[in-house]
Structure 1
Amino acid sequence: MARTRAQIAQRLTRSSGALSTAALGRMEYDMPWVTELPAEDRSWIGLIVQAGIKSFIDWYRHEEASAPISAEVFGVAPREMASEITLQQTVAMVRLSVTVVDENLDDLLGPDADSARSALNRYAREIAFATAEVYARAAEQRGAWDARLEALVVDAILRGEDEDTISSRASALGWDTSANVVVVTGRLRSEADLDQIRRRAADLGLGCLCAVQGTRLVVVLGGVDEQGRPADTLSDAFAPGPVVLGPVTRSLADAKISADAARSGLRVAHGWTGAPRPVAADELLLERALASDRAARRMLVEQVYLPLRDAGGSVLETVESYLSGGSSIEGTARALFVHANTVRYYRLKRAAELTGLEATDPRDCYTLRIGLTLGRLDVREL
Structure 2
Amino acid sequence: MASPLTIDRAPALDGEPAPVDSLSRLLGDLSATVLGGADAEELIHRLALLLGLPVTLRDEHLGVRCWAAPAVFRLDAPPALPPDVPALRQATARLGPARRSVVLAPAPAHGLARRHLLAVLVVEGAVAGYLDLAELGRPLTPTDTRVAEQAAAILSVQRLGEVRTTRAVARNHDDVLADLLRGTRPAPDLSRLAAQVGLDPTAGHVLVRCPVRAGRSPGACRGGVAGALGAALGAEPAVLAEPDAVVALVALAGDAGPAGLRTVHGLLREGMDGVAAATGIRRVVVSGPVRDVPGFPAALSETREVDGIAASLGAAAGVVPVTELSTLRLVVSGERTDVAVRFAEQCLGPLRRSDAESGGDLVETLRTYLAAGAQVRAAARVLGVHENTVRYRLGRIEHLTGLDTRRFDALLAAQLAFQVDGLATGGPR
TM-score, structure 1 length as denominator? 0.50
Tell me which structure has the larger Cα radius of gyration: 1
Greater fraction helix: 1
TM-score, structure 2 length as denominator? 0.45
Greater fraction strand: 2
